[in-house]
Amino acid sequence: MDPIENNEKANIPPIQLDENSRLKFKCHKGVSCFTQCCRGISIMLTPYDILRMKNRMQISSEEFLAVYTKPELLEKTDLPVVTLKLLDDEQESCPFVREEGCLIYEDRPTTCRYYPLGVASLSYKEQQENGFYILINEPHCKGFEEDQEWTVRQWRKDQGVDIHDDINAEWTELLVRKRSIPKNVRLTEKTKNMFFTASYDIDRFKRFVFESSFLTLYDIDPETVEEIKNDEIALLRFSFKWLKWLLFKEGEFKLNETAVQQRQKKPEEK
């Protein structure tokens, strides 16, 4: 969900910030509201979030998606995304929060890392060039009463969110670009399923690349093949490039014409 939309629903006027803006904030066990921001929330997970969290729990991406997420269609894009599935308790708590804090803190989602900041623009390039952020100043949060002061740039680096943004950048740009396409241009279910797999189900996408005819149909250089076979982040970045080709027919992917012609002839030969 858009951070600005969240603020509007809570009747909190957004405060626009840039990279050099300063804020006072510190969250720790000593504040009376500790872990309240981890309940009754809506967190859209990014591809890199899924990768980090499933590895932290030592389960496959398929299992993580089935147990900890719920699918949704992102407004104005017709693209499938996932949000964190909350517990069915009175407070709708994050499944990873406990009274003493977050069980997966080192691998927490991008949105959690940003808090109390929100990205006011979905565009990664706009965010980096214009520093378009908002301050989510919720009345219940006592972290704003602490003396620790940061610039937005310092906060992003301290929380590791700059790394998350860098890895997710090409994927985020796909969402922004798809938003600008007229609503009547609908995606096929096959395209939506592929977008979901390439975005979130990294283990299944790896099987798609290496156990199907993918590497026969496309001319992928050997160095890239070796890299994506052994590096999940490289594979994730590769999946974003593939999605750009899938959605907009742009990028570095080139069909192996000979393989395509042979594949087209097979049904006739049977």
Domain count, the chain: 2
pLDDT confidence band for 259 (50 / 70 / 90): low
DSSP per position, 146-213: S--EEEHHHHHHHHTHHHHHHHHHHHHHHHHHHHTS-TT-PPPHHHHHHHHHHHH-HHHHHHHHHHSS
Domain boundary among the residues 118, 140, 167 is at 167
- Residue scoring higher pLDDT (266 or 104): 104
Same domain, 108 and 44: yes
For 162-187, the pLDDT digits (tens) are 999 999 999 999 998 898 887 667 88
The angle at the Cα of 19, spanning 17 to 21, to the nearest 5 degrees, equals 50
126 and 225 part of one domain: no
Residue pair 104/96 in contact by the 8 Å Cβ criterion: yes
Instruction: Flag whether pLDDT at 270 surpasses 90.
Output: no
Whether residues 231 and 146 share a domain: the answer is no
Asked if the structure places residue 178 within a domain, the reply is no
Do 152 and 37 share a structural domain? yes
Q: Residue 27 phi/psi, 5° resolution?
A: -110, 130
pLDDT digits (tens, 9 = 90+) for 193-230: 999 999 999 999 999 999 999 999 898 999 999 999 99
Residue 121, domain extent: 3-167
C-alpha closest to that of 145 among 116, 188, 121, 122: 116
Q: Rounded distance, CA 236 to CA 267, Å? A: 33
Do 109 and 241 fall within a single domain? no
DSSP reduced 3-state for 67: helix
| Average pLDDT value for the chain | 87
At residue 240's C-alpha, the angle toward residues 171 and 206, to 5°, is 130
Q: For residue 248, which amino acid is it?
A: F
Residue 9's pLDDT band (cuts 50, 70, 90): very low
Per-residue pLDDT at 53: 98
